[in-house]
């Protein structure tokens, strides 16, 4: 490394020395040429004066070039600012050279008498202009030569780029690519939905058509990369354009909005990911609704997990006094604490307590230590096939862990308790979904039992993109290994949302809770998993079924073809909240005494009895008949 640095330093010094020598030559050659062209003024006295002024004038120009940073500029990447500085320095040198000639003539250091007209005004004007032309030409020529050589070296390797959006952001991206000598790719064409822009050019890049023509234009112009630069477009239109672009098989990138670039200087062009394709307007948090956590002590169970950790991040925005991360697994909790401490500088205070919600005694220790006012309950077993094979563990953790936590919360006077549920709790076909439906009933049971001394609520949502154990990391790993990507059934569909979106819903629901509600997100249309797999393969730079195959493995035990967001009896009671993306269902009536006795039965059951008792508690729990795979 030191040898390389020494060689680079020597090269820089050599380049600077050669540039200084050239500038000295350019300055004096320019004035000699101008004097020579003036046949009337090219006398012996003038020749003598030209030779005598060479040293002081050269010194003046070189000193000025140093003062204006001309020799510090990397001329390969120079722009208008460097050229302006060079012009000012050269013009100043021309003016000072007049003073030098006057002083030398006055002191008779020069044999030439300026008052006899040895050097005329045109001599200084054209001499200075020629000097500027020569020094600029050398630098611009060097820049052009370097770029030409680099282009020749990278010929065939430079990505051919399509710019989607011929607006301000498109112009900025083209300018950045140009400034980087097209090392990250060269913009070949642009597209824009504005018909008036067709045929126009943006920094030399011609708009060839609209966004619907992307596949045809990408093929015609042999495009490698498509950069989406339309931050002002609606989320729906951006999603449409992304789906169109995915079909080309090109590498997709997206640019931030101008506001995002101002707010976050680190934001820039990034790869398009699956979240962009599934995006819709995310929930916006209402400060007045979420202020219930301000200056409060908040505990998040499962706080180191995918949802729990994002909950901690969202809650931190509203200045709670403390956040207690309660988790059985210490590594993720430790990483999260360090992240939050760095970002918020210890305010709020982040505290980790290791323990399990199964352990009621440990819960009481932690509640006795901190007396939390708000509880977010994210700890759960959620993997469907694993819970089918281990139903007793699902019951211990999901059902009785929640029961322990709710009981402890009431005992210690917690103000609000928000539990995370799932769409799999609706008409469940598996043990995991059935246990989560029981947890919803536990929330409503304790709400009635405590007479609103603690406000209980549950939040129900679908699959979370990128969460631990979800389909996206599985597909990504399969693609990385060369495939095949495995999908259980060609007709299987799921609702999807992002982790921040899910966490925002939970925080907002906590502020809306009045007791016993189940909040449900309007999640739009369900997504076919086969489409998700095809898009993810395409975003990875491969062609589905050609580079990476997709295989169908059949539905797993307890797996449904489609999910639902509300029970049949809940639909009639479902109402929209102040946030038009969040619905709320009123509690479904059930007998608390019978429910308590059923929980006692479940507590003492073995694995062979659990499913039957769950069906007793949750009458709409029916185990799925495995659907056949059809072409």
* Residue 348 preceded by cis peptide, ω within 30: yes
Q: Which of 605, 553, 610 is nearest to 387 (CA)?
A: 610
CB–CB of 319/290 below 8 Å? no
Q: Is 16 helix (H, G, I), strand (E, B) or coil?
A: helix
Distances 546 to 61, 219, 242, 356 between C-alpha atoms, Å: 65, 18, 21, 47
Q: Are strands 582-585 and 517-521 parallel, antiparallel or unpaired?
A: antiparallel
**For residue 548, what are its two tokens?**
């990476």
Question: What is the Cα gyration radius of the chain?
Answer: 36
DSSP string, 99-145: HHHHHHHHTT-SSS-GGGTSS-HHHHHHHHHHHHHHHHHHHHHHHHH
CB–CB of 92/64 below 8 Å? yes
> What is the distance between the alpha carbons of residues 492 and 623, in angstroms, rounded to a whole number?
17
CB–CB of 555/627 below 8 Å? yes
Distances 209 to 146, 163, 190, 206, 212 between C-alpha atoms, Å: 33, 11, 8, 9, 8
> Virtual CA dihedral for 550, 554, 556, 558, nearest 10 degrees?
130
CB–CB of 225/185 below 8 Å? yes
Cα within 13 Å of Cα(413), Cβ side: 3
Neighbouring residues of 225: CB distance < 8 A, sequence distance ≥ 6? 159, 160, 161, 162, 185, 250, 251, 252, 253
List the Cα angle 34/35/36 in 5-degree steps. Answer: 90
**For residue 43, what are its two tokens?**
């006398």
Q: Which of 127, 129, 97 is nearest to 31 (CA)?
A: 127
Residues acting as catalytic residues = 424
> Of all helices (H) and strands (E), which one includes residue 23?
helix 2-37
**For residue 616, what are its two tokens?**
């007793």
* Residue 428 preceded by cis peptide, ω within 30: no
Long-range pairs for 541-546 at CB < 8 Å and ≥24 separation? Answer: 541/249, 541/251, 542/479, 543/249
> What is the distance between the alpha carbons of residues 57 and 305, in angstroms, rounded to a whole number?
72
């Amino acid at each position: 490394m030191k040898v390389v640095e020494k060689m680079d330093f020597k090269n820089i010094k050599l380049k600077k020395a050669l540039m200084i020598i050239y500038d000295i030559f350019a300055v004096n050659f320019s004035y000699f040429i101008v004097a020579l062209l003036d046949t009337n003024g090219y006398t012996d006295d003038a020749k003598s004066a030209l030779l005598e002024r060479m040293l002081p004038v050269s010194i003046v120009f070189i000193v000025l070039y140093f003062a204006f940073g001309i020799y510090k500029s990397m001329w390969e990447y120079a722009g208008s600012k460097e050229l302006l500085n060079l012009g000012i320095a050269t013009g100043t040198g021309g003016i000072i050279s007049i003073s030098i000639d006057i002083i030398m003539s006055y002191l008779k250091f020069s044999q030439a008498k300026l008052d006899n007209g040895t050097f005329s005004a045109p001599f200084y004007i054209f001499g200075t202009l020629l000097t500027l032309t020569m020094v600029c030409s050398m630098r611009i020529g060097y820049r052009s030569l370097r770029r030409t050589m680099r282009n020749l070296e990278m010929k065939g390797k430079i990505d051919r780029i399509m710019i989607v959006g011929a607006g301000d952001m498109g112009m900025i991206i083209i300018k950045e690519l140009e400034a980087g000598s097209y090392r990250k790719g060269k913009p070949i064409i642009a597209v824009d939905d504005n018909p008036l822009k067709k045929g126009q050019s943006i920094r030399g890049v011609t708009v060839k058509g609209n966004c619907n023509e992307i596949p045809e234009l990408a093929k015609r112009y042999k495009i490698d990369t498509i950069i989406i630069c339309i931050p002002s477009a609606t989320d729906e239109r951006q999603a449409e354009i992304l789906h169109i672009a995915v079909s080309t098989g090109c590498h997709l990138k997206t640019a931030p909005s101008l506001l995002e670039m101002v707010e976050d200087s680190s934001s820039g062009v990034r790869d398009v990911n699956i979240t962009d394709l599934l995006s819709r307007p995310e929930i916006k948090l209402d400060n007045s609704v979420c202020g219930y956590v301000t200056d409060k002590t908040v505990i998040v169970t499962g706080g180191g997990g995918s949802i729990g950790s994002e909950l901690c991040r969202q809650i931190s925005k509203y200045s709670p006094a403390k956040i207690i991360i309660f988790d059985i697994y210490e590594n993720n909790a430790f990483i999260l604490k360090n992240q939050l401490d760095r970002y918020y500088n210890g305010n709020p205070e982040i505290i980790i307590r290791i323990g399990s919600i199964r352990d009621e005694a440990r819960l009481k220790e932690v509640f006795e230590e901190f007396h939390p006012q708000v509880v977010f309950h994210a700890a759960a077993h959620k993997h469907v096939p694993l819970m089918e094979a281990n139903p007793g563990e699902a019951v211990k953790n999901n059902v009785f862990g929640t029961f322990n936590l709710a009981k402890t919360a009431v005992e210690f006077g917690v103000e609000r308790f928000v539990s995370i549920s799932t769409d799999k709790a609706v008409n469940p076909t598996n043990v995991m979904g059935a246990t989560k439906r029981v947890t919803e009933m536990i929330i409503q049971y304790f709400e009635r039992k405590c007479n609103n001394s603690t406000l209980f609520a549950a939040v129900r949502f679908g699959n979370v993109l990128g969460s631990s154990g979800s389909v996206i990391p599985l597909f990504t790993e399969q693609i990385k290994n060369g495939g095949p990507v495995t999908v259980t059934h060609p007709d299987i569909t799921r609702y999807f949302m992002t982790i921040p979106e899910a966490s925002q819903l939970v925080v907002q629901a906590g502020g809306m809770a009045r007791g016993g509600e189940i909040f449900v997100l309007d999640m739009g249309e369900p997504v076919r998993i086969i489409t998700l797999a095809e898009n993810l393969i395409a975003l990875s730079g491969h062609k589905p079924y050609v580079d990476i195959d997709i295989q169908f493995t059949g539905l797993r035990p307890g797996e449904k073809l489609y999910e639902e967001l509300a029970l049949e009896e809940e639909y009639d009671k479902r109402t929209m909240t102040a946030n038009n993306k969040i619905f709320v269902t009123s509690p479904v009536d059930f007998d608390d005494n019978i429910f308590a006795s059923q929980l006692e039965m479940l507590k003492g059951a073995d694995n062979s009895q659990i499913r039957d008792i769950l069906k007793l508690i949750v009458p709409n729990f029916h185990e799925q008949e495995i659907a056949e795979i059809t072409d």
